[in-house]
Amino acid sequence: MNRKTVFYCAALFALVTGENIYAQIGEPYIHDPSTIMECEGKYYTFGTGGGGLISEDGYTWHSGGVRPGRGAAPDAVKIGDRYLVAYSATGGGLGGSHKGTVLTMWNKTLDPASPDFAYTDPVEVAHSEDNEDCDAIDAGLLLDPTDGRLWLSYGTYFGFIRLVELDPTTGARIPGNEPVDIAIDCEATDLIYRNGWYYLLGTHGTCCDGPNSTYNIVVGRSRKVTGPYLDNIGRDMLQGGGKMVIAAGHRKTGPGHFGRFIEEEGVEKMSCHFEADFDQGGRSVLAILPLLWKNDWPVAGEPFCEGTYEIESERRGYALELAVDFVRMEGGIHRFWEKSDEPLVPLKSQTLEDVVSTWPDGNINVRTGDYMFRPHQKWSVIAVPESGGYLGAPYYKILIEGTDRALAATAEKELITVPQFTGTDEQLWRIEQLTDGTYRIMPKNVPGCDRQLALISIGDSTPSLGEFDMESDNSKWNFRIR
């Protein structure tokens, strides 16, 4: 599905139902969230003021994360079997003072209930004074996957964004390392690496003004970690450049504090906060969205929304459908080579009532075929939040429109539809947008199978379940509004 179609779907759904289609559930209230960390099967993010959020599944969030030192705008990275957390003690520029300090500390685990939970004493890695043109605040950490070097970016809108190198063993600043100026007109920066490019993501605009906050996230890229970071039209971020990644929308303003989470090849998420969620009293909330890549530039994807779709295989463009006899429609057949004076009368679309009596009562197999906007090809995708979720979204049920007939996985690793949705794991579906904009569809669990399998197309007309392969169109699907 192209991004324009997804946006229309999301906006229309929000308008009609009033649903909060971005928001995590529970108590996802946080400001300046760190990059999300996974630790011992749980997810963690930390925010300004100390503490943070914990989630068992990545969808329902509650307070409970522990981070000593209070202060502002932390970030986190896993190095080996330990977690390094960086945070700012003071600073920010808003009160007229540029004096601040960035500190780092380690922990073996992020679970406060673990006997191994204990933060080390903080170590200062950067500071700023009142007369400086930089604020030592808003830490961003990058462990370079190409050489194992560790980098810290910091700074605010009120001066330069600076970069220093840290020791990945101690978390301390490498002696003699001098800061490098890499950007202006942004704050809450984060560095990531992909396909030979370093990306600097910065939060532009104003914060801390509720629904009037103008925060948005921009990006530049460089072949070297020290820059220069240029945007898509060649503007240097040291001159105020930056390509838009995400701005306000869907009754939420002020996206800021980017974080990247890689689930596996082709499946990436981005986290941020929105300064004000209009549907949650204007509070600052955690958001988790698909992270797409377009021409080697990061783009925020849209949240998947409920609706009725053609589910289309990327392999051939065929549609997922019930394996039932095709019911022909009457009328509309004319000899095109003969002139006709008959009045033009619109044809009536085939309805569920026209065909449902021809379908078997029990389980029905599925296949893929030419899309004809027929009832056996239309699927209603509906969230089931009471069944939990995964990173950023709830599980869904996938039903033939107008019925309770549900798509399900079988112990034979095949697909069927069952007459009634009962909420069992094999009838719950995980729908995630991939980095190229297509979708992966996975059952929550396959009966008797301890592996995660995805909906695949093993032939032009043969859907099944198998290992997800980002390099194969057989593993990719599109949701189209027809």
Task: For residue range 469-478, list pLDDT tens digits in order.
Answer: 999 999 999 9
CA atoms within 13 A on the CB side of 444: 21
| Exposure class string for 126-144: b at 16+ Cβ within 10 A, else e | bbbeeebebbbbbbbbbbe
Taking the C-alpha atoms of residue 432 and residue 391, their distance in angstroms, rounded to an integer, is: 9
What pLDDT, on the 0 to 100 scale, is given for residue 91? 61
Please tell me whether the overall predicted TM-score, pTM, comes out greater than 0.75 for this model.
yes
Which distant-in-sequence residues (6+ apart) come within 8 Å of 408 by Cβ?
A: 415, 416, 417, 418, 424, 426, 427, 443
Q: For 9-38, what is the mean pLDDT?
A: 69
Evaluate if residue 57 carries a pLDDT over 90. Answer: yes
d(CA 92, CA 307): 44
Residue 28 to residue 158: CA distance in whole angstroms: 29
Q: Tokens 């989470």 map to which residue? A: 261
Between CA 158 and CA 186 the distance in angstroms is 8
Q: Is the pLDDT of residue 22 over 90?
A: no
329 or 236: which leads in pLDDT: 236
In this structure, are residues 469 and 454 in contact, taking their beta carbons and an 8 Å threshold? Answer: no
pLDDT at 482: 85
369 Cβ contact list (under 8 Å, min separation 6): 318, 319, 321, 377, 461
Please give the Cα distance from 324 to 400 (Å, whole number): 13
Q: Percent of the chain at pLDDT above 90?
A: 86
336, 339, 341, 345: CA torsion to nearest 10: 10
Could you tell me if 221 and 298 are in contact, meaning their C-beta atoms sit under 8 angstroms apart? no
Average pLDDT, the chain: 93
Report pLDDT for 94.
Answer: 56
Question: Residue 96 class from Cβ within 10 Å (0-12 exposed, 13-18 middle, 19+ buried)?
Answer: exposed
Which of 286-290, 344-348, 443-447 bottoms out in mean pLDDT, i.e. has the lowest? 344-348
pLDDT at 5: 39
- What is the arithmetic mean of pLDDT over 92-106? 82
- Say which DSSP state 23 is in: B
Highest average pLDDT, of 18-32, 338-352, 395-409, comes from 395-409
| Residue 443 bridge partners (DSSP) | 429
pLDDT at 442: 98
- pLDDT of 21: 52
Whether residue 345 is predicted with pLDDT greater than 90 in this model: the reply is no
Is the pLDDT assigned to residue 15 strictly greater than 50? no
Return the pLDDT at 147.
97
Q: Tokens standing for 108?
A: 């073996």
Q: How confident is the model at residue 271 (pLDDT cuts 50, 70, 90)?
A: very high
